[in-house]
Structure 1
């Protein structure tokens, strides 16, 4: 048989090109799935992060995420209370859908959470810190979580290997656990999802010694609305029980020893404050008590001398300063420890392909309107800090004022990791905003609903719609009142303009949009009544 030399050469050349091309294709690395570090504190007001405002405190480490990534100025929650917020984050569903409407009702464990999906997709997963509901979070290779609210000093932890108690300060300990996992337990050949969840600065705002020694010497500026009389609003603002003067305890909250309060004849809102103070103080070891007494003892002595001459305004101002000293002292520890974790990411090179998120489970009142706590749809409670960094994907120093919610976190993370989101999730991926394509973002309003009434702080049930410009709210159950606020011209939300003829067209348009949102998110008057009946079944209301 004769061979055509030219044909043979052509065949070998073609074969070589195919092999070469195939080799090039095989050597092209697959896109590397990003690691995700989700950092969440508890009740951290955006007003107490210097990337938002340096009026109260400097937070240089949290600010790094704003400098190197994106800061959201209109991030908010769907339900401003701890456990429901966390359930929304994990499920990507409103609380009326996932069933965790308040801190009383149990979490429905048949819900699929985004960590489960990450685990199924080959991610190594871990959670350290405060979950606040359930003792066995699904989808985690490892977890160490505080039972319920947990303790600031010498906290107990629930783990998938048994319970344990660790001596020290909770913010430092949660960070130690997180860093240990990153350094020793993380598998280099797997991407990771790590949830790093702080208890601080949740009530009763107990700082570490290094910070209460410093912060108890500071004086902080008062908010403009500290002495708000709520004259421009309805029943809900007047009847809420979160006023610094009337409802903040001097014992648990302001660290006045119960015997000193008794000696001065101070009538506490309830015995709860004295009970909690004694309980938390009893957890301290002798050395910790000595440190505590060396700082808070003189504060008590000074208070004994000054209290008899105080009028209500003086007492309100004194409570505000004590509140800020301890609350912001807790923040200082959070910021320091966030810095420790960010430093390790940089040292190890993990920062290059790790999405880092810092947020809180909701906002918090820092004396605005004379209040502490949260629960309302009003801005200080409803808005939450949100800072996101992802090198080479998010432009450093960028900002967004779009209406985004904790409802969106699950779908954002799944989108970034290339994992398909379940069809029943209700959020929207933030990836277009994060990666410089805001024109692809279509949402112009968010939906909010609060259920826990009657309950702590007695904030009435309400739902509403919020846009960049306006806020329409319906308070219901034992009242039937509507409120409308002009967010641009009345940023402190002092004047309800619902019945103002100048806003008639705005009111009409927002009512229509609110009806549309309630249908879109599968909420209704019937569902509101369903949950009221559930409260009756539990004996929480008559």
Structure 2
């Protein structure tokens, strides 16, 4: 009898032990699943362009290398054909956050574009809803308070453009002015949150968005004279005469003639205030106001302005690269590299003297093409390259897909997760629809829409002109020759126009030109609420306060 009792007790203990073991295994599995969900760090610099990143090659790669940004590419995937659907800061950010074109997210323009709708769904909200710790540091530039972030600290001065030195940050609802250089300060916030602000047993999604290298291109003190003794090379298209594009590329205010005294680092006279201060600083931004040292010829002045600009711009990029290195080193030192998705991009491309320009806006390659690279050792083969056409509305669905987050939210963008492992879907569209609406302020770039395929760019400039342009990107990668009237391309033009019509219909933006012009003409409001006693830069430059 005793023997039987012992057997029963032993069996019971074994069963209890098995149940507990299974329970522990389930708990451990849940815990492991939670902590092994990939972390995401999305890094976006403002106006950073492929020409300034040495991983993409180009004329500055040996003079101004970007070793830390290049690490992301060399240890991950470099994308060669990621394109912006509306190449200007705020609208691009809205497209990235929502996965939708401007006509669906409602944010068309920077100037008189109003504020981003706080009720709109954005991908950080989905991460937060699915158990991710979320944070935002640096530039926001959308006018309304960021949604979907547990912690945010964003630039909140100069119309949310921010300042390079001693910037004001909105820190979870409270404005605070700090001493220091903004690129370093934004990274300090990010590093502090990674080290002390987050829980270590849950995944995180961090958005780190630098002001740099946006205008007015003010380098950190240690880099102010980095290339003082050398002459930077000039792009091949620096002296573009805009033949065949006189009414479009040839009629803008973004050439080397439109740099201001502030851009060129002229010393401001003491005691200037209000309108006079703005007029002095922005002299040069209007036609006929040429800023250069006395005694220089027009050609010498153009080169002098370019040299000042490009050295300051690349010096700002140098600080961005340094600070990205801080983030990468932290991940390596803390065992987070394998399980963290790193994305590096910009809000669009930028001109570095190409075609004699600075700024962005056009459907042309330098402004539409975004730097983009992804590092994720669990999925992405080191040193891989992708050449498919991808757009900024594809970012949100891809990030959610990588985190295995399912959503019912409708997005016009599509996930390109499979491309990260080298597999392009057979039905992937190798063409994109572009539309730029803002005019005439800033920079006097004609509103236009178009289609960009892997071989061609076709664009229609429509506001107060009616001009079509076509470029064969294989024969003319610099887009110097508008071949719209070349009879050899008549069939190509007809096919591209049909494709463009289909893309506009799919996007829900197959409106009339009158409707498009109305969007350009509509004042949707300001990104910030100006005080009554403030004088806006636009009012000064357009003469409204004279």
Task: Determine if the TM-score, normalized by the shorter chain, exceeds 0.5.
Answer: yes
Match of 1:205 in 2: 217
Aligned CA distance change for structure 1 residues 158 and 504 (closer, same or farther; 3 Å): same
Matched, 1:538 2:542: no
Aligned CA distance change for structure 1 residues 273 and 202 (closer, same or farther; 3 Å): farther
Q: Deviations over 1:170-194 (max 9, x none)?
A: 1011111110000000111211110
Deviation at 1:54, TM superposition (A): 5.0
Q: Deviations over 1:245-267 (max 9, x none)?
A: x2122x1111123569xxxxxxx
Match of 2:191 in 1: 179
CA contact (8 A) 2:395 2:415 kept: yes
Other structure's SS at 1:171 match: helix
Aligned CA distance change for structure 1 residues 529 and 419 (closer, same or farther; 3 Å): farther
Match of 1:215 in 2: 227
TM-score computed with the length of structure 2 as normaliser = 0.85
Quick one: which of 39, 42, 52 aligns to 2:43? 39
Match of 2:263 in 1: 253
Deviation at 1:525, TM superposition (A): 2.4
Count residues in correspondence: 495
Matched, 1:78 2:85: yes
Q: How does 1:313-328 map to 2 (within 5 A)?
A: 313-328=299-314
Other structure's SS at 1:163 match: strand
Match of 2:508 in 1: 522
Match of 1:379 in 2: 365
Other structure's SS at 2:381 match: coil
Q: How does 1:49-448 map to 2 (within 5 A)?
A: 49-53=53-57, 55-56=59-60, 57-103=64-110, 104-105=112-113, 106-147=115-156, 148-244=160-256, 246-249=257-260, 251-257=261-267, 274-275=280-281, 304=293, 307-308=294-295, 310-440=296-426, 442-448=428-434
CA contact (8 A) 1:41 1:359 kept: yes
CA contact (8 A) 1:452 1:461 kept: yes
Deviation at 1:214, TM superposition (A): 1.6
Distance of 1:487 and 1:352 partners within structure 2 = 38
Distance of 1:333 and 1:145 partners within structure 2 = 18
TM-score computed with the length of structure 1 as normaliser = 0.86
In structure 2, list runs of 5 or more residues that go unmatched.
Answer: 1-7, 271-275, 284-290, 526-541
Distance of 2:244 and 2:167 partners within structure 1 = 44
Other structure's SS at 2:180 match: coil
Other structure's SS at 2:202 match: coil
Distance of 2:394 and 2:279 partners within structure 1 = 37
Deviation at 1:109, TM superposition (A): 1.7
Distance of 2:267 and 2:411 partners within structure 1 = 48
Other structure's SS at 1:443 match: coil
Structure 1, 48-57 or 431-440: larger mean CA deviation: 431-440
CA contact (8 A) 1:253 1:273 kept: no
CA RMSD of aligned residues (A): 2.8
CA contact (8 A) 2:116 2:144 kept: no
In structure 1, list runs of 5 or more residues that go unmatched.
Answer: 1-7, 261-269, 278-299
Distance of 2:99 and 2:396 partners within structure 1 = 5
CA contact (8 A) 2:86 2:435 kept: yes
CA contact (8 A) 2:187 2:323 kept: yes
Q: Deviations over 1:181-215 (max 9, x none)?
A: 00000111211110001000000100011001223
Match of 1:486 in 2: 472
CA contact (8 A) 1:234 1:481 kept: no
CA contact (8 A) 2:386 2:419 kept: yes
